[in-house]
Homo-oligomer: A and B are copies of this chain.
Amino acid sequence: MIPGPFLLYIGDKRNPLDVKTSRGLATFRRADCIGELRDADCPVSLGLPRMDVREAAAKGARSLVLGIATSGGRMEEAMIPQVLAALDAGLDVVSGLHQHLASEPRIRERAETLGRQLIDVRAAPVNLKVGTGAPRAGRRVLTVGTDCAVGKMYTSIHLADALNASGVSARFRATGQTGVLIAGEGVVIDSVIADFISGAAEALSPAREDDVWDVIEGQGSLFNPSFAGVSLGLLHGAQPQALVMCHDPARPHMRGLPHMPVPDIAACIEENLRCARLTSPHAEFVGISINGSGLEPAAARDLIARIESELGLPCVDPVMTGMDAVVDRLLARFPAA
């Protein structure tokens, strides 16, 4: 487990999407977040007090969380002195980067000398098995998306919460570094060896005979040429009866790929269904979840109404409308036994 409370790293990041792991903790584990570590001229804030590592330690922080995205998941040179300072101040360090903390000799040596923990959330679990696609019992709903970072984790957490609030047991199954940090468990699926993607998804949501829903966090997009392999393996391994499509209407093109257009929601639904049916022959969509934070409220409401009318599925914004329309559809289509 990750020792909280946390100091959240932002550094010099200027794109809000680049701090999405720090932001996820600030949103879903707010009580565990003491402050944010950011450069003086950094325009991005999570609304937490800005403080340095010593101040955070004095206020009770136990971990510095490198909750940011970097190119290829590598540690940036500017981060290293901050990590060393955190270790010196008495903090453990938690990272969601692909590059493991101990791969940097200065960090490894300092942590060993001081007896601090280095926790890599993306360290792949051992003893994974290759997936089989064999039919298994249980109720599973997977969030998928038109792109990465469009709200699949937010939608999944809100959907699990809404199901539980309506009296139907559900558990959030995390597949990304942010989700794993929030839930305290899960598998960072983009970090497993490629042969084991679907097997990791099968292990994350094993067969179960009760009526509990596993709400599985999706990753990437079948239309994102960087990560579609992860998305497809997760889709096959999750073997979901129900799917929710997530979409950010403000995205001008696929994230970081100006040459790639964002796919049409209907086309993305069709492609996900075609692929899902390899292991879940009757898979169906039970809703669409948009991230309307980049729109005026009236424009978001208009968009939701238009999507519902065009696609014949409930459309929600987890923050603005809540998840009830999707919960109703899910429970109507898949009543308890």
Contact = CB atoms under 8 A, between A and B. Distances in A.
Interface of A: 71-73, 98, 124, 128-135, 189-195, 197-199, 222-223, 225-234, 236-237, 256-257, 259-260, 271, 274-275, 278-279
B198 A190 contact: no
A130 B232 contact: no
Nearest to A223: B278
Given A190-B193, A278-B223, A229 B198 contact: yes
A134 B253 CA distance: 13
A134 B259 contact: yes
A260 B278 CA distance: 9
Nearest to A260: B133
Nearest to A229: B233
5 contacts: A130-B226, A191-B195, A194-B194, A223-B278, A229-B236
Contacts of A189: 194
A143 to B, nearest CB: 17
Q: Please give me the 8 A-B residue pairs with the lowest Cβ-Cβ distance, nearest first.
A: A229-B233, A133-B225, A229-B229, A190-B195, A197-B229, A225-B236, A229-B232, A232-B232
Nearest to A124: B193
A204 B221 CA distance: 23
A256 B130 CA distance: 11
B233 A194 contact: yes
A243 to B, nearest CB: 16
Most-contacted residue by chain B among A71, A190, A226 (CB, 10 A) = A226
Nearest to A200: B194
A169 to B, nearest CB: 28
Most-contacted residue by chain B among A195, A197, A257, A271 (CB, 10 A) = A195
A259 B281 CA distance: 13
A98 B257 contact: no
Most-contacted residue by chain B among A73, A223, A227, A256 (CB, 10 A) = A227
A75 B195 CA distance: 16
A229 B134 contact: no
Contact of A198 (B133, B135, B226): B226
